[in-house]
Structure 1
Amino acid sequence: MATEILRYTAFSADPAGGNPAGVVLDARGLGEARMLEIAAELGYSETAFLTAPPEGLGEEGRAFTVRYFSPKAEVPFCGHATVATAIALAERQRTGPGELVFATRAGTVPVSVTADEDGGLRATLTSVEPHLEEIGAADLAEALAALDWPAADLDPAFPPKVAYAGARHLVLGAATRERLADLSYDFARLEALMRRLDLTTVQLVHRAAPDVFHVRDPFPVGGVVEDPATGAAAAAFGAYARELGLVPDEAVLTLHQGADMGRPGVLSVELRAGDSRVRVGGAGARIL
């Protein structure tokens, strides 16, 4: 039986914006090698593969096991492919808006699908428990050298840290929007460092307003130069910003990503007081 491979974009209602993901709603019988092959053939930063959930995870038809593959390797969690998958399920399996739950390698991820007034769908995921880690001076220097960023171009208000909310991301603050826009890096050198540190992306951030940020995510370990809209990194950044006191404990942040690549997307990051988990949501659309 042929495998049906869907294509959806996440964090944009326009198929030409946001981050494209492959979605395989029925991956029964597919081995890891075939999943990786499909992801490589598609060439998107990630493709999601769904199978039956662990026993007792959730309501039938609304709970699934999900695995995520980049063109080069499996990743523990992918935010944009989660949003794309949730919207695909609501459309294709007629589950409609409502609550879903995904079993991922990073942990259990609840997802809520809602409909806008115009009928468009949005999906919001709730991250696993986040945390921050320090990065050594030598590793930071190597990251800056690979990016060709002078240390003076960093925003001192954003201390470099490794942030986790399902996957590990190195967060670096850009002092200016121009610094963020000028991204030309040593692919092999940054990939080698990221593999050694087990990083999924580097989250490059510039603050435009108290609750508005522009972000970019180099993703050489996935086989692509840059990820257009990165939900897992957005969740990690939300935890980072809250823990460092850069935003209130309860806030909704807007992240703009992909404009410098010609694929603009908008990610909403919600922080709730008393809940350390981070919610990341956005629109989505099928790519025909």
Structure 2
Amino acid sequence: MKVEAFLVNSFTADGSGGNPAGVVFNADKLSDAEKLTIAKAVGFSETAFVSDDEEVDFSVSFFTTTEEVDFCGHATLAVFSTLFNQGVIAAGNYTQRTKAGLLGITIANDGQVTMEQTLPKYLGSFAYHEVAGLLGVDEAVLASTALPIDVITTGLPDIIVPVPRGYLDKIEVNNAALSDFCKQHEVIGVHAFELYNAHEKLTASCRNFAPLVGIPEESATGSASGALACYLTKHLYSEHINHFKFEQGRLMGCASHISACVRSDKQGVSQVLVGGYASGFGTQIIEI
């Protein structure tokens, strides 16, 4: 059997950069083993598989090159951008079923995709010394931010790590140690960030490391961007609606831009939205 995978860069910045994902339509009859085989052949951090659903618009599953994950932001963007660009759907509102839950999608007339993420769960914190060695950064450097290291999920649990401005590019991850640490604590990986000043166009630059699931580093991470937006809302911003713009992938030579919005009320965060643009760059035929 031959399967066609669309190759898509998600969270592009002015049409360039982004994080590549594979997208496979009509995946209803594919087994999990076949999906994993396809994801390995595509070779990107994630490949999304789109199936019909009896209750909502689409059912989407996500596979890295090593396993299935509950959700993937940049692959979700790739799915709905491709559906839109192929003329399968028009601009409007849609719902996808994922293992992280039913999540809303909005497509603007210009092709921008905004995805709803699950409401945040704050799963605990780590001390600076527990994380510093994993990233090759001195404990005192992390402590100088005076910000906590939190585990937050808006679809996948990530360790959110603030670093001082100028230190993000100096991170050197111990992949084996980080994988063991993440497995022990049941998290996906680390999302590190450095803040920009209030008058600058970007809120923060980020790097994401998830060697446990076969991703040493990736250039745009939608799920972790939602978690970071909730982290910033909790610790630094008090408005009921907070808008953020993140950069990721700069050091990898494929800078990406990710928009995020967090809405809050007296009960806490009421909505998490992450969005951006994507562009296809070809297809791949996989024989299974």
Q: If the length of structure 1 is used for normalisation, what is the TM-score?
A: 0.90
Match 1:172 to one of 161, 175, 197: 161
**Residue among 182, 186, 200 paired with 2:188:** 200
Local SS of the residue matching 1:158 = coil
Secondary structure of the residue aligned to 2:26 is: coil
Q: Which runs of 5+ in 1 are unaligned?
A: 58-62
Partner of 2:145: 156
Given that 1:83 and 1:123 are in contact with CA atoms closer than 8 Å, whether structure 2 keeps it comes out as yes
The residue number in structure 1 matching 2:249 is 258
Q: Which amino acid aligns with 1:56?
A: E
Per-residue Cα deviation, 1:9-44 (whole angstroms, up to 9, x for no partner): 111166651110000111121111111111112121
Superposed CA RMSD? 1.7
User: Within 5 Å, which residues of 2 pair with 1:1-288?
Assistant: 1-12=1-12, 16-53=16-53, 55-57=54-56, 63-116=57-110, 121-137=111-127, 141-154=129-142, 155-177=144-166, 179-210=167-198, 212-246=203-237, 248-274=239-265, 276-288=270-282
The separation in 1 between residues aligned to 2:145 and 2:87, in whole angstroms, is 48
How many residues were matched structurally? Answer: 275
Q: Secondary structure of 1:185's match?
A: coil
The answer on whether the counterparts of 2:113 and 2:275 sit within 8 Å (CA) in structure 1 is yes
- Hey, what's the Cα distance between the residues in 1 that align with 2:47 and 2:14? 19
Q: Which amino acid aligns with 1:251?
A: N
| Equivalent in the alignment of 2:285 | none
- Alpha-carbon displacement from aligned partner over 1:19-74 (angstroms, at most 9, x marks no partner): 10000111121111111111112121111011122x333xxxxx111111111111
Q: Deviations over 1:106-165 (max 9, x none)?
A: 11111111133xxxx21000111212122344xx53432121111122153421000110
SS in 2 for 1:209: coil
SS at match of 1:38: helix
CA distance in 2, matches of 1:272, 1:136: 26
Q: Distance in 2 between matches of 1:32 and 1:197?
A: 26
Once residues 247 and 187 of structure 1 are traced to their aligned partners in structure 2, the CA distance between those partners, rounded to angstroms, is 36
Identity %: 29
Relative to structure 1, the CA distance from residue 157 to residue 253 in structure 2 (aligned partners, 3 Å threshold; closer, same or farther) is farther
Cα distance, 1:79 vs structure 2: 0.5
* Partner AA of 2:70 in structure 1: P
Letter aligned with residue 84 of structure 1 = A
User: CA contact under 8 A between 1:13 and 1:285: conserved in structure 2?
Assistant: no
Normalised by the size of structure 2, how large is the TM-score? 0.90
